[in-house]
Amino acid sequence: MLKPEAANRLRAIVGAGDYRDDIEALVAHSYDGTPMLQSLPDAVIYPESTEEVSKIMAVLAEYGIPLVSRGSGSNLSGGTVPSQGGVVMVMHRMNRILEVDLENLTATVQPGIITAEFIAHVESLGLFYPPDPSSMRISTIGGNIAECSGGLRGLKYGTTKDYVIGLEAVLAGGEVIRTGGKLMKDVAGYDLTKLLVGSEGTLAVITEATLKLIPPPKTKKTMLAMYKDLYGAARTVSRIIESRIIPATLEFLDNPTIRVVDDFAKLGLPLDMEAILLIEQDGDPEAVERDMERIREVCELEQAERVEVAATREEAEKLLTARRSAFTALARLRPTTILEDATVPRSKIADMVLRINEIARKYNVQIATFGHAGDGNLHPTATTDARDHEEIERVEQAFAEIFEAAIELGGTITGEHGVGMVKAPYLEWKTGPAGIALMKGIKQAFDPKGLLNPGKMFAKESRKRVVLQHGQ
């Protein structure tokens, strides 16, 4: 519980209805999209303006109260679990699109806007905002910025970071800063904009963002390539890129994922395939035709059993929606679903899938793998049961080995989900101790009292890294 004096001051800033410390509000904000993590905050607050955020943060600094800012809490890294109590600041009331600038092709938004609503609005104006995390129907732009969310279109179009060109943010003491602007180029000092993107709420609270928009592609085609041989599918990924084609989307689903997705979405997918690639290309009609023809050749060269092009936009949408539902579909199998995020150079996709399957067998756990193959960003997903402590222990060991394998292959522990609490013990594996020290120095520069999303990104203790023998 907060001191009554602090609580009263916070209540006075937002009004009684938007400061809550009843048990329903506390429980509802004690967890996020990540399984097996829960911690009660002391209060939940819903600011309506940058000014309110600034006042709130000044009060929190004065009393030394931790702050977790959040959108919809759909993240999968425990990034918004209030693990040290304090105040959860929900940004949903700050959900306006402040401007779409058709001359400069920018949008300026508040952080609480739902990603899919923002995308729909922008598309209604004939423009395009590419980042499309699978969570986009519930996630917020602010959350996407905090996590540097990717999505299915990341291969060709990049991730959230590539579209954030200006920010307004409130610092730990309540001070408001502005970075960047409606500027395609700005090298005035260190790039605070890109530093704040992906900083997981540990450096500042984002209260406004200026986003780059681009002209939409004129047309789009969607293809499914189905393989009896997993590695044929993986090799296809490299071969397409080697052919100097960057598809808009290049997604991979393994057999367990195909089965659950088909059962969930009733697509009539062939259940005897070991892997399916979902491939989209967009752009000018002639270029799309040419690329799709060449991609089909590559698929066939790599022994795809079947290659099908979606006949209509509706059919294509159905396939994409099915892919986006992979997490939901897998979640129906067993009580607990742990979706991971190891990423490797795309040439190593085949090796990585092989390693994941070996590791799953070694620990006797169920892992389905799907993900953004074109980016090398795989989502090995364990279906398990949090109540079975012995099994959960094996799942955790398996994931530790999976992260280890990703790093051995030149990859990273997280491609788009962030570090949060879940990956914090592994961060040093990627960055080394000097990298961690620099990051802690940056944290110190922004948040000397350590009040912003404490316990995230930096672990009290790093896991020891056991260097594995290949084939172990």
Of 226-255, binders to a copy of itself (CB under 8 A) are 238, 241-242, 244-246
Quote the CA–CA distance of 68 and 172 in Å, as a whole number.
11
309 binds a copy of itself (CB under 8 A): no
Judge contact between 416 and 154, C-beta under 8 A: yes
Quote the CA–CA distance of 30 and 23 in Å, as a whole number.
10
Judge contact between 77 and 95, C-beta under 8 A: no
Quote the CA–CA distance of 354 and 409 in Å, as a whole number.
12
**Interactions with a copy of itself, residue window 9-68 (CB under 8 A):** none
Tokens of 102: 């058709």
Report the 10 Å Cβ neighbour count for 378: 26
Judge contact between 451 and 65, C-beta under 8 A: yes
Query: Which of 249, 377, 381, 453 contacts a copy of itself by CB under 8 A?
Result: 377
Quote the CA–CA distance of 190 and 276 in Å, as a whole number.
43
101 binds a copy of itself (CB under 8 A): yes
Query: Which of 54, 343, 369, 453 contacts a copy of itself by CB under 8 A?
Result: 343
Task: Pick the piece of the chain touching a copy of itself (CB under 8 A) from 270-278, 284-292, 309-317, 382-390.
Answer: 284-292
Residues present in the chain in total: 472
Burial of 5 by CB count in 10 Å (0-12 exposed, 13-18 middle, 19+ buried)? exposed
Residue nearer to a copy of itself on the CB measure, 7 or 141:
141
Task: Pick the piece of the chain touching a copy of itself (CB under 8 A) from 22-30, 51-59, 262-270, 367-375.
Answer: 367-375
Query: Which of 92, 93, 121, 194 contacts a copy of itself by CB under 8 A?
Result: 194
Residue nearer to a copy of itself on the CB measure, 246 or 386:
246
Q: Which residues have C-beta within 8 Å of that of residue 127, sequence separation ≥ 6?
A: 100, 102, 105, 213, 214, 215, 216
427 binds a copy of itself (CB under 8 A): yes
* Distance of closest approach, residue 76 Cβ to a copy of itself, in angstroms: 12
Query: Which of 23, 36, 98, 190 contacts a copy of itself by CB under 8 A?
Result: 190
Query: Which of 159, 207, 236, 383 contacts a copy of itself by CB under 8 A?
Result: 159
290 binds a copy of itself (CB under 8 A): yes
**Interactions with a copy of itself, residue window 431-450 (CB under 8 A):** 431-432, 434-436, 438-442, 444-446
Query: Which of 62, 123, 272, 286 contacts a copy of itself by CB under 8 A?
Result: 286
> How many residues bind to a copy of itself according to rule CB under 8 A?
91
Quote the CA–CA distance of 148 and 160 in Å, as a whole number.
5
Judge contact between 81 and 32, C-beta under 8 A: yes
179 binds a copy of itself (CB under 8 A): yes
**Interactions with a copy of itself, residue window 114-133 (CB under 8 A):** 126-127
* Distance of closest approach, residue 220 Cβ to a copy of itself, in angstroms: 15
- Please tell me what DSSP assigns to residue 40: -
Amino acid (one-letter) located at 99:
E
Residue nearer to a copy of itself on the CB measure, 94 or 155:
155
Query: Which of 104, 219, 325, 462 contacts a copy of itself by CB under 8 A?
Result: 104
